[in-house]
Amino acid sequence: MGPLNFQDKILTVQTLPTWRDNHRNNGKKLAATNGCFDILHAGHVSYLQAARNEADALIVGINSDRSIRELKGPNRPIHTENDRASVIAALASVDGVFIFDELRATEFLKLLRPDIYVKGGDYSLEELPEEERQTVANIGGDIKVLGLIPGKSSSEIAQRILNT
């Protein structure tokens, strides 16, 4: 195998099913998580490593620029979706990255059909969107909520930058 190009980890609607099937056919358990990952910080890196430790491979769904503007306002994202996908793809703990345009990860989860859906500790299981919980239940997957690392927030970092 030649050198790994992290850009190869960035998947599309066309390439994700083959990626998924190759992992499944090799008996690998798939974990998925998602988020904006606008300003990467130590909390993200620790969280993604913990999510990867839940399975044999981790794919990260990243909100598109359009969906972040709708979720967080006109000043966000700071970084474009392609830049955010590249930075996340370059992490050793991440096996795949997928940019999705919806506000919820439901369509991403339907396409991937993960064994485990991992969310950060800023959510409780009950606070996760019902449609995401139902999608994971329908495919026979599990949901795991990991603890939050306090004091690490892209929104707080962005606010500090914008206020300077």
Averaged pLDDT score across all residues of the chain: 90
Does residue 155 surpass a pLDDT of 60? yes
Listed in sequence order, the residues at least 6 apart from 92 whose beta carbon sits closer than 8 Å to its beta carbon are: none
pLDDT tens digits, one per residue of 40-83: 888 889 899 999 999 999 999 999 999 999 998 998 899 999 99
pLDDT tens digits, one per residue of 108-133: 999 999 999 999 876 778 888 899 99
Write down all domains in the chain, each with its CATH number in brackets: 6-162 (3.40.50.620)
Q: Are 117 and 132 in contact (CB under 8 A)?
A: yes
Question: For the CA atoms of the chain, what is the radius of gyration?
Answer: 15
Report CA dihedral (43, 49, 55, 58) to the nearest 10 degrees. 80
Q: What is the pTM of this model?
A: 0.89
